[in-house]
Amino acid sequence: MNFELTEERRMLQDTLRRFLSDRYDSATRNAIMAAPEGMSAEIWSALADLGVIGALFSEPDGGYGGEGFDIAVVFEELGRAGVVEPFLDTAVLGGGLLAALGDERQRALLAEVIEGRLHLALAHYEPGSRYDMERVATTATAEGDAVVLTGAKAVVVNAEAAGHLIVSARESGAVDDPGGISLFLVPPGSKGLTLRGYPLISGGRAAEVTLEGVRVPASARLGAAGEGLAALRRALARANVALAAETLGAMETAVELTREYLLTRHQFGRPIGSFQALQHRFADLLIELEQARSAVINAAGQLDAPADERDRQISAARNLIGRAGRLVAEESIQMHGGIGMTQEYDLAHFARRIIMADHRFGDTDWHLERFIELSAA
């Protein structure tokens, strides 16, 4: 057993932490969130130049990392700084699927992703599917050399910026059949494709995506026909490690802000941190933070385990972090009093990041349910 980060990962962590503390302060972030694109192209390419995206891919895919702990290190730092740029969507989900399923021509896009020149978005979940992975009503119908896509996709994060959408669609089977799902690379200008974009409450943007008879060549298919689900599951497992680590980072910052505030805010002639009613609750936050850290380690370390065991660990982590994150966000606000409720004070952003993470790729209850199912198996 060894819980130390490798030298390389520690360096990555240091570089990233230094860069973000120099270049990504709250004023910068607020300006980014107020801008219509909801992200900064400048920050994006600077971080790509630092190797942040490359760290998320293995050497054969053109990167220098790509393991669970690489993802965890990067996203914990992004989370600590409250970064809203869509690294998870472009690199982990989009890039991950290209790397796993792409043919040579499709994989050529990976270099552009790693260099920060191409955005991607996964258009998978649908208005009626909530968090269910295999529930895909969008259809893909072969017509000669082409495939025609029809359906609707919900809350597609980063859709507007994406150079390609990765769209899941059903080629056969019932709506919740695990088999029969394929993935397609769809360019944003395609006829019949419409995006309705909007900002997200925790930063970044998403869109409702409608496909009305969108024709793509059969060569736009990623991987074998009807066999997309296993790759999707794996990509979402990696995304869940990223999301859990990011949330852990945001929790660290929230707890640190709270610690500083308890020491500096005075009421009744003493620091509020001297009230035992708050001391015990602060101690509980520290305990839950360490629990969350371990949950991320468990999940990141099992990313290459067989699918069911991997996902059981992933769901354990997301369930625990859903609970611990809620406690940290709510208690941090509460122990700050009114200040914790204001847009201007940093905590607001971190609380929103933490809570809203519970609305992607399954919430606390969804993961509890999956954990129970996979434990029984």
Ligand X SMILES: Cc1cc2nc3c(=O)[nH]c(=O)nc-3n(C[C@H](O)[C@H](O)[C@H](O)COP(=O)(O)OP(=O)(O)OC[C@H]3O[C@@H](n4cnc5c(N)ncnc54)[C@H](O)[C@@H]3O)c2cc1C
Q: Of the candidates 66, 65, 52, which has an alpha carbon nearest to the alpha carbon of residue 23?
A: 52
Q: Which is nearer to ligand X, 194 or 279 (CB)?
A: 279
Of 107 and 326, the one with the shorter C-beta distance to another protein is 326
Q: Give the C-alpha distances (Å, rounded to integers) separating 164 from 2, 62, 89.
A: 40, 19, 12
Sign for the pseudo-dihedral over CA of 293, 297, 300, 303? negative
Is there binding between residue 212 and another protein (CB under 8 A)? no
Query: How large is the angle between the packed helices 7-23 and 41-50, nearest 10 degrees?
Result: 160
Cα–Cα distance between 290 and 344 in angstroms, integer? 28
Strands 120-123 vs 164-170: parallel, antiparallel or unpaired: parallel
The answer to whether 177 contacts another protein (rule: CB under 8 A) is: no
- Does 338 help bind another protein (rule: CB under 8 A)? yes
Binding of residue 17 to ligand X (CB under 6 A): no
Nearest Cα residue to 242 out of 32, 94, 114, 41: 94
Q: Which is nearer to another protein, 23 or 326 (CB)?
A: 326
Please say whether the beta carbons of 39 and 86 come within 8 A.
yes
Binding mask 330-349 for ligand X (x = CB under 6 A): ----xx-xx--x--------
131 binds another protein, rule: CB under 8 A: yes
Sequence-distant (6+) residues with CB within 8 A of 177 are: 134, 170
Interface with another protein, residue 360, by CB under 8 A: yes
User: Measured from the CB of residue 344, what is the shortest distance to ligand X in angstroms?
Assistant: 13
Instruction: Give yes or no for a contact between 160 and 119, defined as CB atoms under 8 angstroms apart.
Output: no
User: Using CA atoms, how far apart are residues 256 and 121, in angstroms rounded to an integer?
Assistant: 33
Among 17, 107, 135, 265, binds ligand X (CB under 6 A): 265
Q: Using CB under 6 A, pick the residue from 46, 278, 305, 356 that binds ligand X.
A: 278
Shortest distance (Å) from residue 343 CB to ligand X? 12
For residues 40 and 34, the answer to whether their CB atoms sit within 8 Å is: no
**Are 278 and 272 a contacting pair, CB within 8 Å?**
yes
Which residues, 140 to 169, sit near ligand X by CB under 6 A?
A: none
- Among positions 7, 104, 268, 377, the unique one binding another protein when judged by CB under 8 A: 268
Stretch that binds another protein, among 42-50, 187-195, 274-282, 309-317 (CB under 8 A): 274-282
Mark 206-245 with x for binding to ligand X (rule: CB under 6 A) and - for no binding. ----------------------------------------
Stretch that binds ligand X, among 220-228, 267-275, 284-292, 352-360 (CB under 6 A): 267-275
The CA distance from 47 to 44, in Å, is 5
CB 123 within 8 A of CB 95: no
| For another protein, the closer CB: 203 or 249 | 203
* CB of 9 or CB of 205, closer to another protein: 205
CA-to-CA distance for 5 and 376, rounded, in angstroms? 33
**16 closest CA partner among 54, 51, 63:** 51
Nearer to ligand X, 203 or 340 (CB): 340
Using the rule CB under 8 A, which residue among 176, 260, 304, 308 binds another protein? 176
Chain position carrying tokens 């969507």? 89
Instruction: Determine, following the binding rule CB under 6 A, whether residue 189 of this chain makes contact with ligand X.
Output: no
Contact status, residue 81 vs residue 21, Cβ threshold 8 Å: yes
Interacting residues toward ligand X by CB under 6 A: 265, 267-268, 272, 275, 277-278, 334-335, 337-338, 341
Interacting residues toward another protein by CB under 8 A: 125, 127-132, 135, 154-155, 176, 196, 198-202, 206, 208, 266-269, 275, 277-278, 326, 330, 333-334, 337-338, 340-344, 348, 351-352, 355-356, 358-360, 363-365, 368-369
